[in-house]
Structure 1
Amino acid sequence: MAILSLVAPAVLIALAFLVFGLVNSVLFLGVSGCLFLLLVLVGKAWIRRRLPTLVQNSVGFFHPFADSGGGGERVLWCAVRALQDAYPDLQILIYCKAGNTAQSLCVRASSAFSLDVDDTFEVIPLTHCHLISPNSYPRWTMLQQALGSAHLAYDGLSQAVPQVMVDTSGWAFMYPLFRLAGVKVASYTHYPTISTDMLQRVISRQAAFNNDAGVAGSPLKSLVKVVYYYLFAAAYGAVGGCTNVVMVNSSWTREHISKLWWKFTQPSLVYPPCNVSQLAALKLDRKLKSLYLVSLAQFRPEKDQAKQLRAFALARQRAAALERQREAAISQGTAVVVVSPFFEAVLAARLKVVGSCRNAEDEERVVQLEALSRALGLNDCVDFCVNAPFSEVQQLLGGAVGGLHTMVDEHFGISIVEYMAAGTIPIAHNSAGPKMDILVDKSCGYLCQSEEEYANAITEVLQMDQSRRMKIARAARERALQFSDERFQEGFLRALERGGLLPLNLHG
């Protein structure tokens, strides 16, 4: 009884403190919620007073570098084409870098992607695109780019405010501004700005293109960067929650966006459009005029064309060693030569590195890759094809035996699908989109990680006999047909319509 007489008051006091704490927490959250709501209303009124009125019956596309030749731009123009066909009365606004016209962008879409887009849309010029360039910020790059994207978005809205804004470039920190301006937001996310994989690389102090070796080698700098990344990830999740409709291009991207963004609904998986129809018209059983591999990607650091060069050089070094071994065996009069006679294929093959440049930094990257090619002794067997039109790309794919891809955590990998459609055997990185969505069937191509694995796959593809190559090419083409322009357009329109963004409701 004595013990109970001591415990009972303690329990009552603890319960009293708990109830007091809960009441205060509810009151605090209630007050905080009211203050937040008030700030939103004030901010909304302040922004709307400074922006023009909504452009009726309009859909905007925010894509600062719409004149580039990457997969993201193909998504943009296929989406525009889908709206032009399904809703011809819509006014379409393209928010992109100043200096472009509707006519020049249509010419670019036709040349780079073989897409016919009507030039009936209006271009809203963005004059501060340098604000989102990573080269403008040597430190705290993601944060400063995020702030720069919000500034760029305001620049665009100050000229025209659409009813719906479709972001096809991934600058999520604009979304709160769009919502405050009274705009409904649809996001097509190719690649999360930050991912759990990036966090893990910093935590494990693994050097990469987005984790400087100086930071990876310092425990203190790594700790600071981890804290910075976690705070940024929380902010990224909050702004991602401002969307009305979320589309992603791959299972890998959906997995990360589902974890990061503050949304209760799963993102819609809409595979990006790939030009499979024209490429699938190429002959599979073709007579090869010359033996070569092709690499198709923008000249960006994460595409890692340098790894392709090193792997190709390694395959050639091994083949050269076999050639010397055979010559030595012959000169010594060895009765049985066990060296494979197919090494000549590797030594005779060429590598054609095809890609587009967005700016001077990309052009400098090509110069560096050319220097690396010479240093590896590849200057006589590697060709660089910069900003080639689609007709030339199609011709190159039609004659290639294999296609290289080396980006780690490539969100999807349109170039891989293009290889497969053309009957070119893909040799891709064993991660993210290529692993989870495209090369799910090992009979369609090769997945690699190390330079040695790439060199092995390169050697195997170049030495492959015609019947085996045909078997893989047929399986790859059949798989590629699942990623057509038509399937993308159907999925894109369905997501907007299910989200209530189309058809437009002027009073919604």
Structure 2
Amino acid sequence: MATSMLLALLATIPLVPIISLWLVKVLTRAIGWSLESQGRDRRAAIVAKIEKDRNAVAEGHNLFPDVEDGWEKIESTGSAENGQPLRDSWSGIVGFFHPFCNAGGGGERVLWAAIAATQRRWPNAICAVYTGDHDIDRSVLVSTVKNRFNITLQEHSLVFIYLSRRRFVLASTYPSFTLLGQSLGSMFLAYEAFQLLVPDIFIDTMGYAFAVAFCKYLFPKIPTAAYVHYPTISTDMLESLDDTTGGKGMHSGAGTGLKGKGKKNYWRIFARLYGWVGRQIDVVVCNSTWTQGHIMQLWKPKMESSSFATIIYPPCPVEELQAKIKVTPESEKARDECVLYIAQFRPEKNHSLILRSFAKYYHNSRSKVKPKLVLIGSVRANTPDEKHIYKLRLEARELKINDATTFICDAPFLVILEHLQKCSIITNGMYSEHFGIGNVEGLAAGLIPVVHNSGGPKMDIVVPYEGEIIGYLAETDQEFAEAFEKVASLDAQKRYAMRLRGRASTERFTEAVFAKKWIEQMDKLVQMQSSR
């Protein structure tokens, strides 16, 4: 009897993982059902408030007036099941998970451009942004987005869901096992989001894949999507642990010794977990070829699909820059020997490399007019960013270039526009930068790029146009300094021709192109939601 019972128990061991997974699904779906039930009244109140705002606007003027924001009219795409065009009357709630929506970087430009395109295509839909920025007001933020990014949002269709547990996704909360801590923390934050509002479609636009997979387990019928700016972990990060040159990012050479081996094993295990999580997402969009390559390698879709990890380049203000900044022989005379770097003031952007490079270029320059360096970027309040920029200012002083270097924080678009008009070189110092909107802005404005020989700048942006180069790639401070000198010493006619080629190459990065491709992916989600 005992033997037969033991054999029966042993026979069930292979079923333990299956049973465990089944129990997890049952439990999470029960939690999801509870969240939906508890949130019905709050959801109804939000919908009623939006409808009231819409009616008030409709009584005053046209809901969607034509605006000069660089966007073309978004045409209807997709079709209904009966073959007729999919109507614009879909009125569900699209939840955008973006805890730091007021950061002012390239990721936020994507968020607002995606919402603007969604609002135009589905004017009856509600766009809800889950954010931890409690100090923002809807009308103020809509105005800020217009001023900073020149993107027009329909305020009456927008709602902010304020989260109070954002600390769970801060790196400072997890001194050890930071990647895992932040990823699991995003699930706690997502749970709070769903307590406040369960959407009809859930989209992550910051890189919290764990939150999206969690949504799928809680609400299997809710279509999910992720716009991936940068994989949480990549093979480049793993390889950097063994790097001895110090040129492969913040973790170069960190794989040595007992602690380093532990870090390697931890990252490898996390990479597998990250891959499993990514495979739970319905629609995956990547911002660049570099990102797509890593996502394809890590997430490995369940089924081969040409649409998996579709590349949609971030929307760049190409049309506006081309309209407002002239690239002519006359404008060429007005440009200074100035190097411009547009990037958030964060350690990974490697401003220090650009400072060292510029110092070499500056001190060795034989020009009568000494070159200048302008660094423009956002600084997140109450974060290490504030201390970081202080250190950069000290470094500029130590390198004896402080008189030639200008730091500009949280600049409005008009200020950026002014410097794009008068500078000559656009640069980027980050190793494996996922894309680099600032580089595209520079090209569109006629600047010549000198960028890091890796990531998006190398694979997507500073690539030959019509068989000729449009800029230079570099890795070390010496290579950057030499490239700056190359641009400065170019024959005037050749330099002007390079500016024109660079500007022409930016047509694939326009806001209109982004809007069209974004709507194609959103259409899949709307059809999924409608069919369910």
Is the structural similarity TM-score above 0.5?
yes
Determine if the alignment matches structure 1 residue 136 to structure 2 residue 173.
yes
- Asked if structure 1 preserves the Cα contact closer than 8 Å seen for 2:430 and 2:452, the reply is yes
Determine if the alignment matches structure 1 residue 47 to structure 2 residue 32.
yes
Which SS does the other structure have where 2:180 is aligned?
helix
CA shift in 2, pair 1:245/1:294, >3 Å:
same
Partner of 2:185: 148
Determine if the alignment matches structure 1 residue 458 to structure 2 residue 484.
yes
Which SS does the other structure have where 2:406 is aligned?
strand
Task: Name which of structure 1's ranges 28-37 and 101-110 shifts more when overlaid on structure 2.
Answer: 28-37
Partner of 2:75: none
* Distance across 2 between alignment mates of 1:206 and 1:145: 29
* Distance across 1 between alignment mates of 2:377 and 2:24: 47
* Distance across 2 between alignment mates of 1:223 and 1:107: 50
Q: Identify the match of residue 418 of structure 1 among 441, 444, 467.
A: 441
Partner of 1:174: 211
Partner of 2:395: 372
Partner of 1:16: none
Determine if the alignment matches structure 1 residue 32 to structure 2 residue 17.
yes
CA shift in 2, pair 1:119/1:26, >3 Å:
farther
Task: Name which of structure 1's ranges 279-288 and 402-411 shifts more when overlaid on structure 2.
Answer: 279-288
Map Cα deviations across residues 175-210 of structure 1 (whole Å, 9 max, x no partner): 232113313211000100000111111244675654
CA shift in 2, pair 1:290/1:42, >3 Å:
closer
Partner of 1:439: 462
- Asked if structure 1 preserves the Cα contact closer than 8 Å seen for 2:212 and 2:225, the reply is no
Partner of 1:467: 493
- One-letter amino acid of the counterpart of residue 48, structure 1: W
* Distance across 1 between alignment mates of 2:513 and 2:115: 15
Map Cα deviations across residues 243-295 of structure 1 (whole Å, 9 max, x no partner): 11000011111111011114233311111111101111211120326431111
Determine if the alignment matches structure 1 residue 390 to structure 2 residue 413.
yes
Q: Which has the larger radius of gyration?
A: 1
Determine if the alignment matches structure 1 residue 106 to structure 2 residue 106.
no
Partner of 2:321: 279
Determine if the alignment matches structure 1 residue 94 to structure 2 residue 129.
yes
Partner of 1:359: 381
CA shift in 2, pair 1:284/1:29, >3 Å:
farther
Map Cα deviations across residues 352-393 of structure 1 (whole Å, 9 max, x no partner): 111110133112111111100010000111111111100110
Determine if the alignment matches structure 1 residue 191 to structure 2 residue 230.
yes
Determine if the alignment matches structure 1 residue 483 to structure 2 residue 475.
no
- One-letter amino acid of the counterpart of residue 310, structure 1: R
* Distance across 1 between alignment mates of 2:495 and 2:176: 47
- One-letter amino acid of the counterpart of residue 373, structure 2: L
Measure how far apart 1:53 and its partner are. 4.7
- One-letter amino acid of the counterpart of residue 371, structure 1: L
* Distance across 1 between alignment mates of 2:155 and 2:205: 19
The TM-score, its normalising length taken from structure 1, stands at: 0.86
- Asked if structure 2 preserves the Cα contact closer than 8 Å seen for 1:57 and 1:504, the reply is no
- Asked if structure 2 preserves the Cα contact closer than 8 Å seen for 1:64 and 1:129, the reply is yes
Partner of 2:113: 78
Task: Name which of structure 1's ranges 384-393 and 442-451 shifts more when overlaid on structure 2.
Answer: 442-451
Map Cα deviations across residues 47-86 of structure 1 (whole Å, 9 max, x no partner): 3214545757110101111111111000000000001100
Partner of 1:334: none
Query: Superposition pairs for residues 277-426 of structure 1, below 5 Å?
Result: 277-281=319-323, 282-285=325-328, 286=331, 287-288=333-334, 290-319=336-365, 343-344=366-367, 348-360=370-382, 361-426=384-449
- Give me the CA root mean square deviation: 2.1
* Distance across 2 between alignment mates of 1:149 and 1:209: 25
Determine if the alignment matches structure 1 residue 211 to structure 2 residue 237.
no
- One-letter amino acid of the counterpart of residue 270, structure 2: F
* Distance across 2 between alignment mates of 1:398 and 1:26: 74
* Distance across 2 between alignment mates of 1:77 and 1:247: 16
- Asked if structure 2 preserves the Cα contact closer than 8 Å seen for 1:444 and 1:473, the reply is yes
* Distance across 2 between alignment mates of 1:351 and 1:464: 19
- Asked if structure 1 preserves the Cα contact closer than 8 Å seen for 2:39 and 2:198, the reply is yes
- Asked if structure 1 preserves the Cα contact closer than 8 Å seen for 2:101 and 2:131, the reply is yes
Measure how far apart 1:25 and its partner are. 12
- One-letter amino acid of the counterpart of residue 95, structure 1: Y
Map Cα deviations across residues 133-163 of structure 1 (whole Å, 9 max, x no partner): 2233222111111121111111111100101
CA shift in 2, pair 1:289/1:200, >3 Å:
closer
* Distance across 1 between alignment mates of 2:335 and 2:24: 68
The gaps in structure 2 that reach 5 residues or longer are 1-8, 44-90
Partner of 1:6: none
Partner of 2:88: none
- One-letter amino acid of the counterpart of residue 150, structure 2: S
CA shift in 2, pair 1:378/1:206, >3 Å:
closer
- Asked if structure 1 preserves the Cα contact closer than 8 Å seen for 2:39 and 2:196, the reply is no
* Distance across 2 between alignment mates of 1:62 and 1:42: 23
Measure how far apart 1:417 and its partner are. 0.6
- Asked if structure 1 preserves the Cα contact closer than 8 Å seen for 2:31 and 2:218, the reply is no
- Asked if structure 1 preserves the Cα contact closer than 8 Å seen for 2:249 and 2:430, the reply is no
* Distance across 2 between alignment mates of 1:289 and 1:175: 47
Which SS does the other structure have where 1:234 is aligned?
helix
- Asked if structure 1 preserves the Cα contact closer than 8 Å seen for 2:244 and 2:252, the reply is no
Give % identity.
33
Determine if the alignment matches structure 1 residue 256 to structure 2 residue 294.
yes
Partner of 1:502: 526
Task: Name which of structure 1's ranges 437-446 and 473-482 shifts more when overlaid on structure 2.
Answer: 437-446
Which SS does the other structure have where 2:403 is aligned?
coil
- One-letter amino acid of the counterpart of residue 186, structure 1: A
* Distance across 2 between alignment mates of 1:389 and 1:288: 22
Map Cα deviations across residues 281-331 of structure 1 (whole Å, 9 max, x no partner): 211120326431111100011111111110011112323xxxxxxxxxxxx
Determine if the alignment matches structure 1 residue 159 to structure 2 residue 196.
yes
- One-letter amino acid of the counterpart of residue 211, structure 1: H
- One-letter amino acid of the counterpart of residue 357, structure 1: V
Determine if the alignment matches structure 1 residue 122 to structure 2 residue 159.
yes
Aligned residues: 457
* Distance across 1 between alignment mates of 2:252 and 2:449: 30
- Asked if structure 2 preserves the Cα contact closer than 8 Å seen for 1:277 and 1:484, the reply is yes
* Distance across 1 between alignment mates of 2:398 and 2:276: 47
Measure how far apart 1:398 and its partner are. 0.9
* Distance across 2 between alignment mates of 1:297 and 1:95: 24
CA shift in 2, pair 1:41/1:262, >3 Å:
farther
